[in-house]
Amino acid sequence: MSIRFETLYRTLVLALAAQAAGATPDGVARLQPSDCRPRDADSTCATAVAGAPAPAPPPFTPDAILYDGPLAGVPSSGYAYWGFDFVAEQTGQPSPVRPDQFINRSKVPVTIALHFDVPTGRPCNKDCLPGVQFQVDAGWYKLDPPFTLLGHTATVTEVFAPGRGYGWVIGMWQANNPRLTVSVPRGGSATLTEVGMAALPGVADEIAAVTRVCDCPGGDTAACSDGSRFSNGLLGGWSQNFSTYLRAGAFNNCPLQR
C-alpha cells in the first residue's frame, strides 16, 4: 500500500469515525439532532439552540365574530341598562343567575366589546368618553374595564366565562355611534342565543308590559307588572344613585308593609 493511499485511507477512516462520534472532520465536537431540539433550554445545547432556526409562529386565528354592528336603544342622555335572560323567559324555567342578565350558556367564553366614536381635536376632559360598566353574577357586581383608544374610537371589552351572567350600563355623554361586537375563540362553537344575546342587537322594539298577579309579603295577592322591555335586552333607564334600572310601566299594588 503506497504512502499516499495509506494517508488518504487513514483520513477517510478518521472522518467517518468523527461523524459517528458527533464531531466535524476537523475534530470539532458538535451536537447531534437527537441531543438538542429547537427551543430546548438545557445548558448542554444552549449554543446550538441559539443558532437553530426558530419554528414558524402559529397562524393568526382571530376570534369567531357572532355579531359586529350597531347597538340599538342607547339614549342620547342619561344612562340605560341592558341584560335579560331570553331563555328563561321563553321556557318558563328560572334563571340560573338572575332574570335581568344575559347568560353565557355556551361551552366557550364570550367576548363583549362596546365601541363608540368620541370627539378628538378639542378638549372635553372626561366627558369625551362614555360611561360604561358591566354588572355580573347573581350579586350584580360592577366591573369597570378600561377603555382602549384608537383614533376617534373608544372600545371597552370584557370576557365572560361559560355559565356567567352579565349585563352593561351605558351613558353616552359626548360620544356617539354605539356599536357591539360579540365573539368567541376561533374554533369554538356558539351562537348568539347560546351566549345570551338577542338575535338582532341592532333592533330595539319595545315589548309591552304585562299585568299579572303577584304574591304579597303579607300573604295577599295583588296586580303587578315588571314593566316593558326591549327586544335586544334593553330594560330601561339606569340610576347611578341607586344602582338599578326602571322599566317603563312597572308597578306593584301590594300594600305597604309597616
Q: Is the sign of the CA dihedral 153, 159, 163, 164 positive or negative? A: negative
State residue 12's pLDDT score: 42
State residue 32's pLDDT score: 35
Q: Are 240 and 170 in contact (CB under 8 A)?
A: no
Same domain (yes/no): 77, 150: yes
Same domain (yes/no): 100, 175: yes
pLDDT above 90 (res 238): yes
Q: Based on the structure, what is the number of domains in the chain?
A: 2
Task: Kindly report, residue by residue over 38-92, the tens digit of the pLDDT.
Answer: 332 333 333 333 343 444 544 444 579 999 999 999 998 999 999 999 999 999 9
Give the N- to C-terminal CA distance of the chain in Å, as an integer: 122
Q: Are 103 and 164 in contact (CB under 8 A)?
A: yes
Same domain (yes/no): 73, 182: yes
Same domain (yes/no): 178, 82: yes
Mean pLDDT check: name the lowest of 37-51, 135-149, 194-208. 37-51
Same domain (yes/no): 106, 45: no
Same domain (yes/no): 21, 78: no
Q: Grid coordinates in use for 48? A: 446550538
The domain boundary residue, chosen from 198, 214, 240: 198
Find the domain containing 14 and state its range: 3-51
Is 224 part of a structural domain of the chain? no
pLDDT above 80 (res 121): no
Per residue, the 3-state secondary structure of 80-112, as one string, reads EEECCCHHHHHHCCCCCCCCCCEECCCCCCEEE
State residue 126's pLDDT score: 61
Same domain (yes/no): 69, 192: yes
Is 83 part of a structural domain of the chain? yes
pLDDT band at 33 (very low <50, low <70, confident <90, very high): very low
Task: Kindly report, residue by residue over 7-20, the tens digit of the pLDDT.
Answer: 444 444 444 444 44
**Helical H runs in the chain?**
3-21, 46-51, 86-91
Is 248 part of a structural domain of the chain? no
Is 156 part of a structural domain of the chain? yes
pLDDT band at 215 (very low <50, low <70, confident <90, very high): very high
Is 22 part of a structural domain of the chain? yes
CA 169/CA 239 separation, integer angstroms: 10
The domain boundary residue, chosen from 198, 224, 245: 198
The domain boundary residue, chosen from 156, 174, 198: 198
CATH number at residue 131: 2.60.120
CB atoms within 10 A of CB 171: 17
State residue 257's pLDDT score: 73
Side-chain half-sphere exposure of 93, counting CA atoms within 13 A: 6
Same domain (yes/no): 45, 78: no
Q: Are 252 and 214 in contact (CB under 8 A)?
A: yes
Same domain (yes/no): 25, 112: no
- Whole-model pTM: value is 0.73
Long-range contacts of the stretch 45-53 (C-beta < 8 A, 24+): none
Same domain (yes/no): 81, 151: yes
- pLDDT above 90 covers what percent of the chain? 65
pLDDT above 70 (res 156): yes
